[in-house]
Structure 1
């Protein structure tokens, strides 16, 4: 039964500590074959007035936002076509790549690319997986199915997709998208 004890400076709220406890549990389970209920995590708050580094009192750094929550919010915002709010979630230098495209840098490029392909598309999510990537970027994968309407008015549904995002400093820096839309369309045309 693995036991993890963590000392942090006081100041993190219960939701941030919950995220930390879940992340530590998952980190242990990545190596140790233990069920979640067998991993014990104890977080000890250290009063800031009792902590010194380099002879100076220190304050805790603010917690990073939940990267999976940020990705979910971005995708919902895009689906609602609130481009101003979505744009505010993007870091300078953000790029996105969709099937058959090179990197796009603006939401307007994405809209122009999608305009001759379908009237609209929505997503049903099967899951979000977040992890710390190399360097400072968190990596978030979301997966599920697409549904929507082609330009001719015919509906589509159940098309698999996976999106991979990179998040740094609470902003999206990269999005890569894979889906089976072209395969489904090609098969539908072959059956017609």
Structure 2
């Protein structure tokens, strides 16, 4: 039964501390074969006045936004064609890669590329999963099914998809997409 104790400066709210505890629980379970109920996480908070590094008092860094929630907001905005909102979630150097397409860096390029392929597409999300990595980006996977209309107005549904996102410093910096649209469209 792993017990994790973490010390943080005061200043994080309850929701941020809950995210931290869940992340630590999940991280422990990637190495130790334990159920979530067997992992104990304790946060010890310290006032900034009781902490110094380099001879200076420090303040806690602001918490990063919840990456899975950010990805869900981005996908909702794109589905609704709210490009203004979607852009606010993208970081410098954003790149997206779709099957059969060159990498794109602008949402308008995606809309232009998609226009002859389908009238619209909606995602039914089965899950959005956080996958912290060793680098500066947090990785988020989203999978489920697509539905929508082909250019001729014919409906389609139940097409598998998976998206991989990289979130860096609170902004989406990469999106990789895999789906079965081409295989489905090719069927007679």
TM-score, scaled relative to structure 1: 0.96
SS in 1 for 2:96: strand
Which residue number corresponds to residue 100 of structure 2? 100
Number of residue-to-residue matches in the alignment: 188
Instruction: Give the equivalent residue in structure 1 for 2:128.
Output: 128
Structure 2 counterpart SS, 1:102:
coil
Cα distance in structure 1, aligned partners of 2:25 and 2:138:
17
CA distance in structure 2 between the partners assigned to 1:13 and 1:68 by the alignment: 18
**Structural mapping, 1:6-45, within 5 Å:** 6-45=6-45
Structure 2: distance between partners of 1:135 and 1:30: 17
CA-CA distance at 1:75 after TM superposition: 0.4
- Say whether residues 1:116 and 2:116 are aligned partners: yes
Unpaired runs of 5+ residues, structure 1, are: none
RMSD over aligned CA atoms reads: 0.8
Query: What is residue 144 of structure 1 aligned with on the other side?
Result: 144
Distance in 2 (CA, whole Å) between partners of 1:13 and 1:151 is 48
Query: Is there any run of 5+ residues in structure 2 with no aligned partner, and where?
Result: none
Aligned to 2:159: 159
CA distance in 2: counterparts of 1:42 and 1:90, whole angstroms: 34
- Return the alpha-carbon distance in structure 1 between the equivalents of residues 56 and 91 of structure 2: 33
- Post-superposition Cα deviations, 1:149-174, rounded to whole Å, max 9, x if no partner, equal 11111111100000001111111111
C-alpha separation in 1, matches of 2:129 and 2:152: 35
Aligned: 1:181 with 2:158: no
**Secondary structure, counterpart of 2:156 in structure 1:** strand
How far is the alpha carbon of 1:98 from its aligned partner?
Answer: 0.5
Which deviations, in whole Å up to 9, do the C-alpha atoms of 1:91-131 show, x marking residues without a partner? 12111010100101111110011100111000000101112
TM-score by length of 2: 0.98
